[in-house]
Structure 1
């Protein structure tokens, strides 16, 4: 039998206001014994409050939107899972919006999230999508927002990121220490903030040891396996003296493996490869991929925790949060032969 809040109040011999306070976890105005009695009735009759009705009272829907650029990328599916897990533990549900790197899709989803009256949004999308119109829309509707993974140096919103420049430097320095001087780099799209910062780290590592940067060794990819494959084919065919490739995400590194195999180039004997993300698939590759590990679970946890602080306590973070990365050395890199 499905009871109303009025019937719950009658069975517990309390007012409707008291039941409402218990349901909304309001700690004031309800004694310990009274709260226990109401909770026992709620449990006995398996009462579930109407979320829409409750949100009209509390102005809180206990929902957050998650906007990501491409769910097919395992990095974002792992990140979405981490965000959903911690959000559920904190009593929130997640609306997942996959915008497929399209501005029109992004705008449609943002309006949908606004209409759904979500309490906040966790946002990761291509920088070309972070235009003035989108930021004005979010600000106008006074929606708490946390950016993750992909940001914008000029954005008014803070977020949870890694130091992409430091990570790019770390990956490239590893190859330089192994004696590599002809290091190819497959970037993400030029419109994406984190790709530009990883490329900056690649250049910084060269400059620090006095290595000249060969522009022919830098190719733009698309953060997809095909993008890595196409760029690697060009690099390996046009640069016979290249000894290593740094792909700015693991998916593109997988494409490098495919291109090398088709060209009968052995990894790491003929060419060393470094990726970025440390996806779970890396260890089943042959050879296992050396890569930069992003703290995916931590990014999800911190972004949800800080977003909910904005929602429930109106606590704004003054600056973006940067989490540490680390180099995971496996079998796809080796020292350059001195023969």
Structure 2
């Protein structure tokens, strides 16, 4: 079996030089030498022994990624962004999907610890509030989407959720809507609380009284929204603000089945800007949450921490929301 020493001998360089090329740390190596090493690697079909490398470096070049719902396009895009950044930097990703289950979340941490990952990117479920009991060992953690109390925290990547809902309600109020139904996620989470806060803030600025009967708390799912709107006997609102796009799409489906026209009868806004939101009819007015970039930046923070490019402080990146106005909202006549 070809070894790194064989490659070095064939190229007439040291093992250290070959190692630097393999690990993309070859900035000070001439292009000619670098290309010569890469050509020999290709010709000899050399495959690095990752297990042997990890025994020497105490690193596996592997990152764990825990997300709560792989079916939700928002989290799928986070995973894509994180993986793209990781692969660019020579890291592998192990993906764990928890299906919003605290049991599966704990199991994911145990699995990643057994796999000896170097660090973990964690998108907590809507049920997660504190994770001090999880088997984290000394793994650095970067949180994405939601901030919770967790040890070994190295970074947080999220969105200004309050501002997002505030922009949406301000848009609806500007179109003369005063009775706006808010379909919320579980209000025990900080994200849901912040989005509700934005809803209240915009109403207060418009001097519209807050009506708790126009706030329905539930799940971040299409099915829940569909069943909720289907169950309503009285439609005493002119607009719906949904806590995410899946909720908005479920609500639109139920409204159409009730022969309610959108946006002529009821305007609808979502949150996230998943791909489907620009394909459905009518196209959904929503908040753009760049989930791909959130995943990419979370991996960037973690890798910088692993490679000692940052000091042991907590990096925070808060993305600004962008309102995308499409055809699901219109002026109330």
Judged with a 3 Å threshold, the aligned counterparts in structure 2 of structure 1 residues 269 and 52 are, in CA distance, closer, same or farther, namely same
User: For the structure 1 residues 4 and 177, does the alpha-carbon distance in structure 2 shift closer, same or farther, using more than 3 Å as the test?
Assistant: same
Shift in CA distance, 35/268, structure 1 to aligned 2, threshold 3 Å: closer
SS of the residue 1:181 aligns to: coil
CA contact (8 A) 1:290 1:329 kept: yes
- In 1, Cα distance between equivalents of 2:167 and 2:307: 38
3-state secondary structure, aligned to 2:286: strand
Contact 1:275 1:290 in 2 (8 A): yes
Using the alignment, how far apart are the partners of 1:56 and 1:28 within structure 2? 25
1:84 corresponds to 2:76: no
The correspondence of residues 63-212 of structure 1 with structure 2, limited to 5 A, is 63-134=62-133, 137-138=135-136, 141-152=137-148, 154-155=149-150, 157=153, 158-212=155-209
**Does 2:295 align with 1:312?**
no
CA displacement at 1:237 relative to structure 2: 2.3
Contact 2:23 2:90 in 1 (8 A): no
Q: CA deviation at 1:296?
A: 1.8
> Which of structures 1 and 2 has the larger relative contact order (alpha carbons within 8 angstroms, sep 6+)?
2
Judge conservation of contact 1:63–1:93 (CA < 8 Å) in 2: yes
What is the TM-score normalised by the length of structure 1? 0.89
The Cα shift of 1:260 comes to: 0.2
Alignment of 1:228-247 (within 5 A): 228-234=225-231, 236-238=232-234, 240-247=235-242
Partner of 1:287: 282
Listed as ranges, the gaps of 5+ residues in structure 1 are none
SS at match of 1:72: coil
The CA RMSD over aligned residues, in Å, is 2.4
Shift of 1:8: 3.1
Cα shift at 1:19: 4.5
What is the CA distance between 1:40 and its match in structure 2? 4.2
More helix, by proportion? 1
Q: 1:176-220: per-residue Cα shift (whole Å, max 9, x none)?
A: 111111000000122332122111111111112221111111101
State whether residues 86 and 299 of structure 2, in contact with CA within 8 Å, keep that contact through their aligned partners in structure 1: yes
Shift of 1:145: 1.2
CA change 1:175–1:34 in 2 (3 A) is closer
Structure 2: runs of 5 or more not aligned: none
Q: Please, what TM-score do these two structures have when normalized by structure 2? A: 0.90
Secondary structure class of the residue paired with 1:313: coil
Q: Which residue of 1 aligns with 2:329?
A: 333
CA–CA separation in structure 1 for the residues paired with 2:32 and 2:286: 56
Task: Give the aligned length.
Answer: 330
Residue 265 of structure 1 aligns to a residue whose secondary structure is coil
